[in-house]
Amino acid sequence: MANSTVLGFRYARLADDLEVKIREGVYRSGEKMPSLRKLHGQTGLSITTVYQAYIELEKRGVVIPRQKSGYFVKPLLGRILSPPEVEKMRPVPKKVTMNTLAYSIVEDMSNPDFLQLGGSVVMPELLPFKQLTRCLRAESMDAMKRSLMRYENPHGNAELKRQIAKRMLGQARQAITDEMVITSGCIEAVSLCLQAIGNAGDTVVVESPTYPWFLQIIEDQNKFALEIPTDPRTGIDLDQLERAVQKNAVAACLLVPNFHNPLGFEMPEEQKKALVKMMGEMTIPIIEDNIHGELYFGTARPTTLKSMDRKGLVLHCASFSKTLSPGLRVGWTLPGRFADRVKRLKMNSTIASPTLNQQVMAQFLKTGSFDRHLRRLRSALKNQITNTALAIARYFPEGTRITAPQGGLTLWVELDKKVDGLKVFQEARKKKISIFPGIICSATGRYRNYIRISCGYPWSEKIEKGIRTLADIIKKRT
Amino acid sequence: MANSTVLGFRYARLADDLEVKIREGVYRSGEKMPSLRKLHGQTGLSITTVYQAYIELEKRGVVIPRQKSGYFVKPLLGRILSPPEVEKMRPVPKKVTMNTLAYSIVEDMSNPDFLQLGGSVVMPELLPFKQLTRCLRAESMDAMKRSLMRYENPHGNAELKRQIAKRMLGQARQAITDEMVITSGCIEAVSLCLQAIGNAGDTVVVESPTYPWFLQIIEDQNKFALEIPTDPRTGIDLDQLERAVQKNAVAACLLVPNFHNPLGFEMPEEQKKALVKMMGEMTIPIIEDNIHGELYFGTARPTTLKSMDRKGLVLHCASFSKTLSPGLRVGWTLPGRFADRVKRLKMNSTIASPTLNQQVMAQFLKTGSFDRHLRRLRSALKNQITNTALAIARYFPEGTRITAPQGGLTLWVELDKKVDGLKVFQEARKKKISIFPGIICSATGRYRNYIRISCGYPWSEKIEKGIRTLADIIKKRT
């Protein structure tokens, strides 16, 4: 159910209807949409309301206005270019040894001179810093004193946990505040969970391609990564996964079922269920990274593996770094039957996350403006991704393939086999454009002719120019 | 050199002089100090200045006023009771398996109903929360926005590192800002360093008794603890350490040379040098926890092992949790030749510490009021420890031994061999008094008849009553 429907705005309801029809193909890419007057007649809604609906659809990146001739259907993300093919591979556990590439990428991320198409970071313009700052300043002297002068409970601030539990309605099967541990972002959550489920030498299943940071954590913990072929539209291949876990002693799966980074898919409901069932039967824990769960482009928030888990085997991880503030470092985990171990690891490694940061986040969530902000953010991201994909289709050489993300903020781009993504990355870096070379998304040496482009910045001419520059670099190497 | 001398306050200079004479035995415990008039005559200072000097000495816990008869020398901490004996032991690496005791202790720490003699936490009354809050509120909207909306550099905020480097003048041999990594408190610093120096299965030297948290980290990392007998006045036994590292493959030493927790000693300069030399020759890294380095009761800040290290083998760790704010979670490490590895581990496990917290700390350090605050804090802690020790001497049964800390905030109390410190801990817990049972300071089962009492609270009748209650519990078990 669409959030807008819940709120009952007429224009938003109309926009939802029209968007569904566009997705169903009732209105096709490039087609002219009904005029204001016509829809006014059909629906009985005022001209203003219909106009508002079109503005909303424009924000969502679904339609585009042309001067004096009304609104036209934008190409749907999924139809802009073909998706990358799933590469054939034989899954083998790999000792991970990432090079220092990742680090230079992170350094570029904090360099204001760079065009940031690398890190999957949501830009300040899209985040509600005014409201957050207001929450920070509204803290009374006494509340501030208390927050500065005491260690927070090692598991996290009670009010924050309550607010998160409220938001997670339907995302977990049982009461969750006792199970919850507040962390320094989603990364610490994943790192602690991965530590909790086993020991050095363990084998961990990941999607292929996967989020590079996962590989680095696996390396730091002296574990092995077992990469399973993953479809850019539907997620990890369950047949191959089944064979791989039968053949190898797998300690855990570390997966991003919702708006995978870099692929952007949402795993279909039935596949999620089959996955949880399969791992449940084999008693293999799944670490579920849901950091993009709120960044859906469809009309409803996706379900979680956690909500299907009856055995305490799903360790759910998430954070506010992509939706509210990267700098506050507030994330959380629901580690299922591993909760005691995760709590202990959290306490022993940092005592607790900072008090004030948790308090401010709890205050913000209490204001109730999070949902409004999220609606705006989702529209913006969808629009940015669509525009970036369109620019890639326009400028990149023929044969380029891209994903059609259902949420999140990254595009995964397959280049001609001859093109070395690492060289493209290095050339782009010289021109102060930051992207990810595909090879850092695997420990196997795969994805050499891939790059990841992140769409966290509001679409602009500067970005279009950046895409054109990338296209030139790539064309020279084709 | 005393800090007060640097500032040139006459009364403080006089107080320093008098304190040195008391320490040298010129004025003895219980003796009447010269009258205001007499000192006025001797020194040429005004009566007011002399009076201020006595007030200062009273604050420092060195003299005590008696109505109408002037000031008297308080018993020196070192002369209140005999120190605990060093137990004979054969150092053997131990697999660490701490029970859940530590966790229940931490829970009590955040329970306002408890008399807090357990956790070594400095109470809000002693911390400069007004200035800190002012720094927080003084951040401009723009600075706040920037802090909320971006990841900090993984190694830490540049200005904060500069401020810390300034304070660490003389505590390290070379330029340190590049080497420095900002962490979530000293615990994260120690945890990262310990991870950086080796692997699961490694043996780590610790003092015996040691800080319980160290043992928990060692356990989490699947390492072994090798406990070396440690003198409550001078620190780790270097002869036994030498024999132990010759006999065992030791991956690192994890030590608290300044104001050890729980023992409170400051390792003499010569012994520090011998330690660094010995470990340097054997290329064994030393993790130096200097969290109490600023909390000295003497007149000068102690030297660090880091300042004696020419080989990059000392990994120095510290934080502001005991001097400014436990809740902000700001610590740091200088990991010597292991800096790259620590930086990587920090980045991979949390991306970076929260931005705002580092900014606020940097702002506070820039105000320059830290030194003034530290002078007050040191006096207060010294006074609290002395008063607690005096109360223990008065109420605890004969045969009790206690340490004479040279800094920090903990007292280590040896009870009659028949008394089980764990039982005392449990009885005290029922009466809502939190202490540490000695056994959690070792993985060997030692220190059963010991308890640790923390003196982070301003001395009060309530605490005196608590000590009396403890004494009653102990007497019943003697």
Round to whole Å and give the CA distance between B130 and B440: 36
How close is the nearest chain B Cα to the Cα of A154, in Å?
Answer: 8
Q: Say if B306 falls within a structural domain.
A: yes
> Is the separation of the CB atoms in B248 and B204 below 8 Å?
no
Nearest C-alpha in B relative to A330: B354
Residue A27 in 3-state DSSP? coil
Q: Is A110 on the interface with B (CB under 8 A)?
A: yes
Asked if residue B342 and residue B376 are part of one domain, the reply reads no
In DSSP notation, A61-79 reads: TSEEEETTTEEEEPPPGGG
Q: Say if A18 falls within a structural domain.
A: yes
Whichever domain contains A147, its CATH number is: 3.40.640.10
How long a stretch of residues is chain B? Answer: 478
Q: Say if A178 falls within a structural domain.
A: yes
Residue A134: its H or E element? helix A129-138
How close is the nearest chain A Cα to the Cα of B327, in Å?
Answer: 5
Whichever domain contains B22, its CATH number is: 1.10.10.10
The pLDDT assigned to B408 comes to 96
Residue ranges in chain B whose pLDDT is less than 70: 1-8, 98-99
Q: List B residues 156-195 in contact with A (Cβ-Cβ < 8 A).
A: 184-185, 187-188, 191, 195
Round to whole Å and give the CA distance between A392 and A387: 9
The DSSP symbol for A98 reads -
B129 contacts in A (CB within 8 Å)?
Answer: 144-145, 148-149
Asked if residue B272 and residue B195 are part of one domain, the reply reads yes
Round to whole Å and give the CA distance between B17 and B21: 6
Q: Indicate the residue of A129, A153, A188 with minimum beta-carbon distance to B145.
A: A129
Residue A424 corresponds to which amino acid? Answer: V
Nearest C-alpha in A relative to B138: A137
Select the residue from B107, B121, B349, B357 to test the A interface by mutation, using most A Cβ atoms within 10 A. B349
Q: Indicate the residue of B124, B329, B351 with minimum beta-carbon distance to A187.
A: B351
Asked if residue A458 and residue A327 are part of one domain, the reply reads no
Asked if residue B305 and residue B197 are part of one domain, the reply reads yes
The pLDDT assigned to B98 comes to 64
Round to whole Å and give the CA distance between A460 and A455: 11
Beta carbons of A353 and B185 less than 8 Å apart = no
List Cβ neighbours of B303 (8 Å cut-off, separation of 6 or more). Answer: B170, B171, B269, B272
Asked if residue B386 and residue B317 are part of one domain, the reply reads no
A326, A345, A367 - which closes a domain: A367
Whichever domain contains B426, its CATH number is: 3.90.1150.10
Residue A325's region, left for phi above 0, alpha for psi from -120 to 50, else beta, is: beta
Round to whole Å and give the CA distance between A332 and A144: 22
Cα dihedral B278, B281, B287, B289 in deg (nearest 10):
40
Q: How many domains are contained in chain B?
A: 3
> Is the separation of the CB atoms in B198 and A329 below 8 Å?
no
**B224-231 and B203-208 strand pairing:** parallel
CB atoms within 10 A of CB B44: 8
Phi and psi torsions of B354, nearest 5°: -55, 140
Asked if residue A282 and residue A172 are part of one domain, the reply reads yes
Residue A94: its H or E element? strand A94-95
HSE at residue A30, side-chain half, CA atoms within 13 A, is 3
Q: Say if B394 falls within a structural domain.
A: yes
**A94-95 and A224-231 strand pairing:** antiparallel
Round to whole Å and give the CA distance between B379 and B306: 26
Round to whole Å and give the CA distance between B254 and B291: 13
List Cβ neighbours of B300 (8 Å cut-off, separation of 6 or more). Answer: B1, B2
Round to whole Å and give the CA distance between B281 and A192: 36
- Selection from A436, A443, A439 nearest residue A218 by Cα: A443
CB pairs under 8 A between A and B: 177
Q: Say if A99 falls within a structural domain.
A: no
Beta carbons of B327 and A354 less than 8 Å apart = yes
Asked if residue A379 and residue A347 are part of one domain, the reply reads no
Asked if residue A398 and residue A359 are part of one domain, the reply reads no
A136 contacts in B (CB within 8 Å)?
Answer: 136, 144, 148, 356
Round to whole Å and give the CA distance between B218 and B141: 43
Please give the residue range of the domain that contains residue A188: 127-367
Beta carbons of A216 and B348 less than 8 Å apart = yes
Going residue by residue through chain A, which has 478 residues, state the pLDDT in tens, using 9 for 90 and above. Answer: 344 444 468 898 899 889 888 877 788 878 899 999 999 988 889 999 999 999 989 888 889 888 888 999 987 777 778 888 887 888 888 877 765 777 777 778 777 889 999 888 888 889 998 888 888 888 888 888 888 888 888 999 999 999 999 999 889 887 788 999 999 999 999 999 999 999 989 999 999 999 999 999 999 999 999 999 999 999 999 999 999 999 999 999 999 999 999 999 999 999 999 999 999 999 999 999 999 999 999 888 999 999 999 999 999 999 999 999 999 999 999 999 999 999 999 999 999 999 999 999 999 999 989 999 999 999 999 999 999 999 999 999 999 999 999 999 999 999 999 999 999 999 999 999 999 999 999 998 899 999 999 999 899 999 999 999 999 999 998 8
Round to whole Å and give the CA distance between A275 and A289: 15
Round to whole Å and give the CA distance between B19 and B30: 14
What sections of A8-90 are H helices per DSSP?
Answer: 10-24, 36-43, 47-59
Round to whole Å and give the CA distance between A224 and A97: 10
Asked if residue B248 and residue B338 are part of one domain, the reply reads yes
Buried b (16+ CB within 10 A) or exposed e, B430-460: eeebbbbbbbbbbbbebbbbbbbbbbbbebe
Nearest C-alpha in A relative to B329: A354
The DSSP symbol for A110 reads T
Q: Tokens at residue B43, please?
A: 């020194």
Select the residue from A134, A351, A358, A373 to test the B interface by mutation, using most B Cβ atoms within 10 A. A351
Instruction: For residue range A367-393, list pLDDT tens digits in order.
Output: 989 999 999 999 999 999 999 999 999
The DSSP symbol for A407 reads B
The pLDDT assigned to B77 comes to 76
Asked if residue A377 and residue A335 are part of one domain, the reply reads no
Residue A10 corresponds to which amino acid? Answer: R
HSE at residue B274, side-chain half, CA atoms within 13 A, is 13
Residue A95 in 3-state DSSP? strand
Residue A149: its H or E element? helix A141-149
Round to whole Å and give the CA distance between B182 and B189: 8
Q: Say if B101 falls within a structural domain.
A: no
Asked if residue B359 and residue B385 are part of one domain, the reply reads no
Full 3-state SS string of chain B: CCHHHHHCCHHHHHHHHHHHHHHCCCCCCCCECCCHHHHHHHHCCCHHHHHHHHHHHHHCCCEEEECCCEEEECCCHHHCCCCCCCCCCCCCCEECCCCCHHHHHHHHHCCCCCEECCCCCCCHHHCCHHHHHHHHHHCCHHHHHHHHHCCCCCCCCHHHHHHHHHHCCCCCCCCCCCCCEEECHHHHHHHHHHHHCCCCCCEEEEEECCCHHHHHHHHHCCCEEEEEEEECCCEECHHHHHHHHHHCCEEEEEECCECCCCCCCECCHHHHHHHHHHHHHCCCCEEEECCCCCCECCCCCCCCCHHHCCCCCEEEEEECCCCCCCCCCCEEEECHHHHHHHHHHHHHHHCCCCHHHHHHHHHHHHHCCHHHHHHHHHHHHHHHHHHHHHHHHHHCCCCCEECCCCECCEEEEECCCCCCHHHHHHHHHHCCEECEEHHHHCCCCCCCCEEEEECCCCCCHHHHHHHHHHHHHHHHHC
Nearest C-alpha in B relative to A201: B200
Select the residue from B132, B350, B373 to test the A interface by mutation, using most A Cβ atoms within 10 A. B350
List Cβ neighbours of B447 (8 Å cut-off, separation of 6 or more). Answer: B209, B421, B438, B439, B441
| Cis? peptide before B335, omega within 30° of 0 | no
B335, B367, B399 - which closes a domain: B367
The pLDDT assigned to B449 comes to 96
> Is the separation of the CB atoms in B305 and B322 below 8 Å?
no
List Cβ neighbours of B435 (8 Å cut-off, separation of 6 or more). Answer: B117, B118, B424, B425, B428, B451, B452, B453, B454, B470
What sections of A262-323 are H helices per DSSP?
Answer: 269-281
B29, B50, B74 - which closes a domain: B74
How long a stretch of residues is chain A? Answer: 478
Q: Say if A109 falls within a structural domain.
A: no
Asked if residue B245 and residue B346 are part of one domain, the reply reads yes
Q: Is A449 on the interface with B (CB under 8 A)?
A: no
Q: Say if A314 falls within a structural domain.
A: yes
Q: List B residues 312-331 in contact with A (Cβ-Cβ < 8 A).
A: 325-329
Residue A442 in 3-state DSSP? coil
Residue A314 in 3-state DSSP? strand
Beta carbons of A124 and B149 less than 8 Å apart = yes
Round to whole Å and give the CA distance between B306 and B272: 10
Q: Indicate the residue of B109, B220, B329 with minimum beta-carbon distance to A350.
A: B329
Q: B87, exposed or middle or buried, with CB in 10 Å at 0-12, 13-18, 19+?
A: middle
